Structure 1
């Protein structure tokens, strides 16, 4: 789910082409910069700095609490992203706050997420010494597996066709039972994942070198958050990782760059 601060909506509308894909790959969260109001000793907040989604942070209480990230105060940030959480099923209202002029200030308004899929909160680009996720009391103790805080990569071109959004890109491994006479006896689901291809094209060489080179280098090892149509389909957010090395290729007649990102992930 993509949640955009109301204070940022007008500014984005005036300066940015609608529905550009968003990539959340820059991340200032480390094991030493994120702390929680409450944590199970077996599931500490430091797990949130690990991109592995099987390690999570778990609270011990259902009362209001915070996940607080300290930044370097220099590089501006404009997003907070969360994966592997239970905020929807635990009925936990969530908002984002920044430490501005010595006061904790709400920068993304309170929202009840529609599901437990990856969530991306976008706000005005700004330098903050600290940012925190506010979780109000819900029906269960909150938990989460991954938290990213950083500056979004806003792609140069929109995606028009050839992409299956990760929430719909199911890949299921099953064993089907069948009798000797061909009757269906049922099936066992062994596992389920998401796999898709992100087609990127008409990218100018200068923009690619200025924006994509560092991202592709980091994506060899670290997952990233991806929103393919950030305004039209705000619920179609994925937390994904590369399955193959992309091959950027100039395409005639204008030598604009095109390539595919083959990804797997959770949605």
Structure 2
């Protein structure tokens, strides 16, 4: 992914705030002052911890805002339409998109999952510093998680931004999808070849073209529904 326009090595908080406000308007999102502040604080934490923990290849806070925050915000209108829900972010890494969802959808219950301890340690630090009571963090492989044990429940929304090929994502996570829930995969170019390889019982219901403000790259969101019988068999 490449962002439009050049940027200095480091951007001031005011510059980032203006970029965030402009991006939110383009996405038709009405962020509160508290939500905007938390998103900017999250970028600051990501930049700080990244120096030691290598959470992302992106070093410039301005590019973090564009390629991570605005990219994650671009899926919010499509998910928020279902109303308050539970969500699992698989392979969350630095907390994307799950931390962004927890900030802007306070009525949602969001769980972050990653197998790398240093990444979930960072996620827990963000939860504490930003006061995100609706956020939980779980370390471990998604295929080993059980509702009511490692995670509190099955989930209405299971999302991933950069986890695996679509078929693998569905195979590993389908046992955690709640009734009437769905798996949502954030992708770059339209993943038609991956959709063809979806396992039995999984159907791509929609492929949404995302327009991420200030980002000159193709982005898509794929919704996959799981047949009730196959989901039960995977449990």
Question: Same fold per TM (> 0.5)?
Answer: no
Report the TM-score when normalising by structure 1: 0.27
User: By percentage of residues, which structure has more helix?
Assistant: 2
Q: TM-score, normalising length from structure 2?
A: 0.30
Q: Which has the larger share of strand?
A: 1
| Structure whose alpha-carbon radius of gyration is higher | 1
